[in-house]
Amino acid sequence: MTTSLVENPRGGYRFLAGIEPYSSGVVAEPGWEIVHVGLASPLPWREGLACVRRHLEGSGRERHALCGVELRCPEPFSMDGFIAFNKQYRAVLEDWDMLVAGANPIARTNVSPVVEAPGESVVCGFSHTEPSNLQRRTFIVAGGGELRGSLDEKNIVRAGETSDDAIMEKAHCVVAIMRERLAALGENDLLSQLGVYTRHNPAKALAEAIIPGLPVAARLGVRWCYARPPVQEIEFEMDMRGVVRDIVLDLS
């Protein structure tokens, strides 16, 4: 994976190339700001993306302003199932002409709640750019679990292990990934939220991996979602963002 940022002039942001279904993160260009939107009522993923597009276009923005998507799935996929879902998801974006030189610029987090999981994959939030005089750089770091490289079981750190030692090794790997992505987006430590997604008690990981690796977590805290990463045998995921405006809308 390259660490160079790719310009998306139609969207007003640059992105860090990731893998086929999503980018690793996005950062607003000067003159633009990333706004995060949580949905009051999650929507089935295809319908949800269409509603997001209508909202953006109805607000005077183009669909290309979409730079982040948050999904929730019923249960973790097998690796093959996850790849199949990603092909469907990417196909929608291809149909909308969202890709940049064949790469998907949009960051994504997709996890499975342990309790009250949806019956189908849903959109629960998104991020978009809009013109702004804001001086600070706003950004989204895509969700990432303890997997290095392509979507392949062999790239999962200690796949299938859930001992305390294994979870800590996984947490250290994820924190390292978050640090790398944050640095690639511009050494921006103006975080507004750090998300942790795991079914395991995160206290030890917070004390021994997250705070040492991302010291701002000691002041900011973390938002722990009792959820599993979207692929079986991945146990620990994080995402991050640095935004000024974080709002909730009902698009249903």
Q: How far is CA 77 from CA 10, 33, 87, 164, in A?
A: 33, 34, 14, 23
Instruction: Give dist(CA 140, CA 113) in Å, integer.
Output: 21
| DSSP sequence for 115-153 | SS--SS-EEEEEEEEEE----SPPEEEEEEESB-SSS-G
* Residue that has been written with the tokens 């973390």 in this structure: 222
User: Going by C-beta distance under 8 Å and a sequence separation of 6 or more, which residues neighbour residue 226?
Assistant: 113, 114, 115, 199
Q: Residue ranges of the chain with pLDDT lower than 50? A: 1-2
Going 175 to 177 to 181 to 184, the CA torsion angle's sign is: positive
Q: Looking at residue 1, what is its pLDDT?
A: 45
- The DSSP letter of residue 210 is I
Return d(Cα 145, Cα 228) in angstroms, integer: 10
3-class DSSP assignment, residue 74: coil
pLDDT of residue 20: 86
